[in-house]
Amino acid sequence: MSNQQLAIALDVMGADKGIETLLAGCRQAFQKGLEASVVLAGDEARIREHGPGAGLDLDSNKIRIRHAEAVVTMQDKPTQVMRRGRNTSMWAAIEAVKKGEVSAAVSCGNTGALMAMSVLQLRMIEGVDRPAITALWPNIQGGNGVVLDVGANVEANETQLVQFAIMGEAYYRALTGKQKPKVGLLNVGAEELKGHELIRTAATTLREADPEMDFYGFVEGDDLAKGTVDVIVTDGFTGNIALKSAEGTARMIGGWVRESLTATLLSKMGAALMMGSLKRLKSRMDPSRVNGAPLLGLNGLVLKSHGSSDADGIAAALLTAENLARNPFRDEIKTTIAKVERRTERALTQSNQDTEEQKSQQKAIV
């Protein structure tokens, strides 16, 4: 798809902040060089009402509106969502992907609903069992690692962990251009524990079935911030808890730092002197710098933006969506999954033959 044709759907409803923030984010994305046109999915009257306040020219040829009245709220349960699902702005945005009208959809809404609707409309890539949600994890190397799954699935078996590794690797390559990202499996460290049986099996499978991958082996929780590897694979339960534990810690320390900067008159004067360095610190800790995480494993590109994204965050998500839409990483996932499936099957057939041979030998001995 050439740049001229590229379009992205933005679900402007169901976010923590109002429509106006989302429209302002869209305007900011254009200012920051977004080339794709944007399809605003949501209540047309409300979009028209808030466009001027957000400074977004709704008559621009880069903007279209796809009317949808209903909203998926953060409190909605999946069953409720599915009942009035087809009238929601979220559904409309994903449908635009399905119909080929846009190359990607971005939503700040309810993650569970976004995933359920995406699977229903777009279906999984052949050979992939379950979608995965990714998170970008800042590290001391100055970059971001990709962690998955962070909450799409409560449990993951060996095969699914292998699929997450393949999807995460292709996604990291698309994000950064690094040809051979290092991939690690999240595990506990103590020698005698060394994780569940299924993590060990996943490690063996990865080594054997995808020898092109730069598979590092096991990593521990503190390797996330160290940047030991580029892609960290885990199940959605562990990933979600690790992510939220770290976010909570970052917020707590951020609060302490702010407090110590303003505790006394002297510290306020000190903080004024170091304004420059503090700005850099703030930008390092700012989650809206990087925003927009694709749901991996789908036949189509759907990005989850933080529920509480501000205009900066929305702009970042739209630019990420454009970048990913131009990248063939989903084709790579498809190819690698198929290749690994073939190799694993061959390995199984091989070991069956071995067993048959052993049996005949045993018979011969008897």
Residue numbers at the binding site for a copy of itself (CB under 8 A): 77-78, 111-112, 116, 138-140, 151, 153-155, 186, 188-193, 195-196, 220-226, 234, 236-238, 240-257, 259-261, 263-264, 266-267, 269-274, 276-278, 280-281, 284-285
Q: What is the DSSP string of 224-255?
A: HHHTS-SEEE--HHHHHHHHHHHHHHHHHHHH
Half-sphere exposure of 63 (CA within 13 A, CB side): 19
* For a copy of itself, the closer CB: 65 or 225: 225
The residue whose two tokens read 């989850």 is 304
192 vs 212 by CB, closer to a copy of itself: 192
Q: Are 147 and 224 in contact (CB under 8 A)?
A: yes
Q: How far is the CB of 275 from a copy of itself (least distance, A)?
A: 8
Distance CA 277, CA 260 (A): 15
Q: Where are the beta strands (DSSP E) in the chain?
A: 7-11, 37-42, 63-67, 104-107, 132-138, 144-148, 182-186, 214-219, 231-233, 293-296, 302-304
Q: How far is the CB of 343 from a copy of itself (least distance, A)?
A: 29
Give the whole-angstrom CA distance, residue 23 versus residue 287: 20
d(CA 180, CA 169): 8
**Smallest separation (angstroms) from a copy of itself to the CB of 140:** 5
- Tokens standing for residue 67: 């009317």
Q: Report the nearest approach of a copy of itself to the CB of residue 82 (Å).
A: 11
Nearer Cβ to a copy of itself (156/318): 156
Whichever of 258 and 342 has its CB closer to a copy of itself, that residue is 258
91 touches 68 (CB < 8 A): yes
Q: In this complex, which beta carbon is closest to a copy of itself, that of residue 27 or of residue 304?
A: 304
Shortest distance in whole angstroms from residue 231 CB to a copy of itself:
16
C-beta closer to a copy of itself: residue 14 or 25 = 14
Q: How far is the CB of 217 from a copy of itself (least distance, A)?
A: 16
